[in-house]
Structure 1
Amino acid sequence: MYARVFSFLVVISLAVQVRSETRVAIAHLISQNVTGSITFTETANGIRVSGTITGLDVGKYGFHVHELGDTSTCDAAGAHFDPDDNTHGGRDHAVRHVGDLGNVQFVGTENPVANVDFVDNVISLRGRNSIIGRTLVLHEQEDDLGLGGNEGSLNTGNAGPRIGCGVIGIRSPSGPWNSSASVFPSLFLLTLTAAFVIGK
């Protein structure tokens, strides 16, 4: 009996281990002027968004996840990622698009740099709010965070044209992302083991 229980617990442990591996995604922003790499890392508090961007003057610039992964042009990436059909807002607002990540701020004198580092608890690397395969977009103007008092503000934050973009893709680890190494085989074994234990 104890051997069966031990086997059952081992299978549960394996299933949880596969599920709990930290996932990391990355987007490389490349355009005529903009260069940067942004990583998206799972944490206990949400997705940590971090990296650096160069190529723009000092100031704030709208920073969003858009719904499509087509970067033949940045405009081809579609609208803000918004599965809930909300109005546009700031990153910390109760009502916002999933893809609303506010602004990045370029600082410095000769070669301004935007150092990005924050945690967002709305975007995800799995499930309904997953940003994998979508596009990270940098805009030409500051995002007014939906507070501009007009229709454009509630749609896009009046952040202006898109001047840099990159598809958000898998960085690591490779195992959990691949169907051949997904959590489902472990869950299948878990089901069989449970049936065996209960049947005995």
Structure 2
Amino acid sequence: MKLKSLITAASAAVFLSACSGDHDAHNMHAEGEHIGERSFSAILNPTEGNEGLQGFVMFEDTPEGVFVLAHVEGLEPGGVHGFHVHEYGDCSAPDGTSAGGHFNPHGRDHGGPDSSERHAGDLGNLQADDAGMAHLEMIDTKLELSGPNSILGKSVIVHAQADDLESQPTGDAGARILCGVIADADVDEHHGH
């Protein structure tokens, strides 16, 4: 299992370092130089009919909350896409519906990432640039990486349309275009004292 986690983390680091722009400070996150107590990752794969899309998401515990880094390529230039953690770590259905609904362990209404009333998995939207690349970095205070409401083993979904941040129960974000299962990205051999 450690080897698989190492390969996943290394793949994410390679993907990040290949990205254009000035994200050198955040490459250090992917390479493990500033890893918090726990870190998870999800490699995003396209659903049927959405070949050419790819991406990943990394989650890391910090004192302020969970640091979320998402990077997706191949999107429609300028497009806005709903971005959520879903309840099941199952991306086997061709349309991604096997991932279930939004992760909502507290039985709340849907909302935006800054709403007081929201699903734990409501992370808002990804905004693609003119090249069809979306890059998001945020701190989220509702996600949990440990305990009974941990997102480990859940999935990340990117939707075809924007999340309007209010329609119930999903924000009217449309079809699922990318899906990835959240796995443990911790490669520290000394974490189990």
TM-score (norm: length of structure 1) = 0.72
1:105 to 127, 132, 139: 127
> Which stretches of structure 1, 4 residues or longer, exceed 2 Å deviation after superposition?
173-177
Of Structure 1 and Structure 2, which has the larger fraction of its residues in helix? Answer: 1
Q: Which residue of 2 aligns with 1:41?
A: 60
- 1:22 corresponds, among 37, 49, 68, to 37
Q: 1:87 to 1:176 in 2, by over 3 A?
A: farther
| Equivalent residue number for residue 69 of structure 2 | 50
The alpha carbon displacement at 1:68 in A equals 0.3
Q: Which has the larger radius of gyration?
A: 1
For the residue of structure 2 that corresponds to 1:69, the secondary structure is: coil
Distance 2:84 2:127 in 1: 14
Q: Secondary structure at the match of 2:128?
A: strand
State the one-letter code of the partner of 1:161: A
The 1:176–1:47 alpha-carbon spacing in structure 2 relative to 1, beyond 3 Å, is farther
Match of 2:146 in 1: 126
Which residue of the partner structure matches residue 92 of structure 2?
72
Deviation at 1:50, TM superposition (A): 0.7
Distance 1:55 1:89, change over 3 A: same
1:22–1:106 CA distance, 2 compared to 1 (3 A) = same
Structure 2 Cα separation of the partners of residues 81 and 176 of structure 1:
30
Q: Is the 8 A contact 1:22 1:173 kept in 2?
A: no
Gaps of 5+ in 1: 1-20, 147-152, 184-200
Q: What is the CA–CA distance in structure 2 between the aligned matches of 1:176 and 1:86, rounded to whole Å? A: 37
Q: CA offsets, 1:127-162, max 9 Å, x none?
A: 13311000000000000001xxxxxx1100000010
Aligned to 2:33: none
The equivalent position to 2:168 in structure 1, one of 131, 140, 154, is 154
The one-letter amino acid of 2:122's match is D
Backbone CA RMSD of aligned residues:
1.7
Number of equivalent positions: 152
Write the distance in 1 (CA, Å) between the matches of 2:81 and 2:163: 6
Per the TM alignment, residue 59 of structure 1 is displaced from its structure 2 partner at its CA by 1.8
**Aligned residues of 2:79 and 2:132 also touching (Cα < 8 A):** no
Calculate percent identity across the aligned residue pairs.
40
Question: What amino acid maps onto 1:100 in structure 2?
Answer: D
Q: 2:135 aligns with which of 75, 99, 115?
A: 115
Contact preservation (8 Å) 1:67, 1:79: yes
Mapped pair 1:171 → 2:185: yes
Alignment-derived partner of residue 141 in structure 1: 161
Structure 2 equivalent of residue 190 of structure 1: none
Measure, in 2, the Cα distance between the counterparts of 1:52 and 1:142. Answer: 16
SS class of match (2:185) = strand
Report the secondary structure of 2:168's partner residue. Answer: helix
Separation in structure 2 between the aligned mates of residue 50 and residue 164 of structure 1, nearest angstrom: 16
